[in-house]
Amino acid sequence: MRRIFSALLFVFGVGSIQAQELNCTVNVISPQVQNTEKRIFETLQNDIREFMSSRQWTSDIFKLEERIDCSILITVTERISSNRFKATMQVQSSRPAYMTSYNSTLLNVNDQDFVFEYTENQPIQFQNNQHTSNLSSVLAFYAYMIIGLDYDSFSPQGGEPYFQLAQQIVNNAQNEPEKGWKAFENSRNRYWLAENMLNPRFEELRNVVYSYHREGLDVMQSDIQTGRKAIQDCVPKLKKLRKDQPNSYLLTVFFTAKTDELINIFKEAFPDVKQQVANDLMQADPANANKYQAIIKS
C-alpha cells in the first residue's frame, strides 16, 4: 500500500521525505581481460553501487526495509582503450510476497550491447534531460525500469512515470554511437523494452503484472487457492498476447523472470488445472514449452 500512496504523491506533487529507492548489489568481473590492473574494476563496481543505491530516483517515501532489491552483474569482455570497455550486463530485480520471506523476480535482463567509458576517480554523472555518458544512461535506464516494474506490481499502471523517464533516456541517446538505443539495431534491446512498456498494445501485460503479484502472490500466504486462481486467470491473457504480438520482447522479459516461479506455483494445483495451465503456458511461452511439462508430471 505504501507505493500506492507514493504514486499519489508523485501525481499530485505533494512534498515527501527524500530517501533512496534501490538496494543494489553490483559485481564487475573480467575473466577474459588480460594484462589489466583489476583495481579499476573494483573501483568501477563501487562507483556503480554508489550511483544506483545512493541516488534518489523518485520523490517518494521509502523506508529502509522497502528499498527495492536488485543486482547488476557486469562481465567486461574487452578493454578497447585505456578508458573504454566492452561488456555484457545482467540486471535483476525482485519484490517480496506479502507477509512472507519469499522474493519474486520482476526483471531479469541480459544486455549484450554495453560499451562504456570509465575513468577512475571521476564520478558517474547523469542528467535526465541529456545523454551525459553511455555508462550513466544505461544504469539510469535500468534503474527506472526496475522502479517502474516494482510500482506496476503494487498498483495498476503505477510505473508509468518511470517508464516515461526511461523512454526519455532512450530518446536522448538516439544520436550516440553506442548500440542498444535504436530500433533498427536489434529487436531485443533497450529501445524496444521502453517502447513495449509504453505501447498501449501491451497494457494488458502490465495489468497482468499487477494482478499476478498483488492479487495472486500477495494473497497466497493467507489463501493459497484464491491467490493461485488469480495467477491462473492471468495465463489466458498471456496466451492471447503471444498470439497478438508473437515477437514481443516484453513477453520474453516477463517469462525470463517468471517461468520457474509459474512451474512451482502450479505443481501443487488440482490435476485439471495443471493440464489447462501447462497447455496455455506452452502456447504463451513456446521457448520454454518443455519446462512446463514439469507441471503435469509433478
The sign of the torsion formed by the CA atoms of 157, 160, 161, 162 equals: positive
Looking at residue 179, its pLDDT comes to 97
Sign of CA dihedral 57, 61, 9, 209: positive
**Domain range annotation of the chain:** 2-165, 204-297
pLDDT at 19: 59
Residues of the chain scoring pLDDT < 70: 1-19
Strands (E), 234-296: none
Yes or no: say if 261 and 227 are a contact pair by the CB < 8 Å rule.
no
Cβ neighbourhood burial of 77 (10 Å; 0-12, 13-18, 19+): middle
pLDDT digits (tens, 9 = 90+) for 78-121: 999 999 999 999 999 999 999 999 999 999 999 999 999 999 98
The per-residue pLDDT for 198 is: 98
Kindly report whether the global pTM for this prediction surpasses the value 0.85: yes
Alpha helices, DSSP H, located in 202-223 = 203-210, 218-220
Please, what sign has the CA dihedral across residues 34, 39, 43, 49?
positive
Say if CB 280 and CB 248 are below 8 A apart.
Answer: no
For 149-166, write each residue's pLDDT tens digit.
999 999 999 999 999 999
Q: CA distances (Å), 15 to each of 58, 61, 148, 289, in order?
A: 11, 10, 20, 48
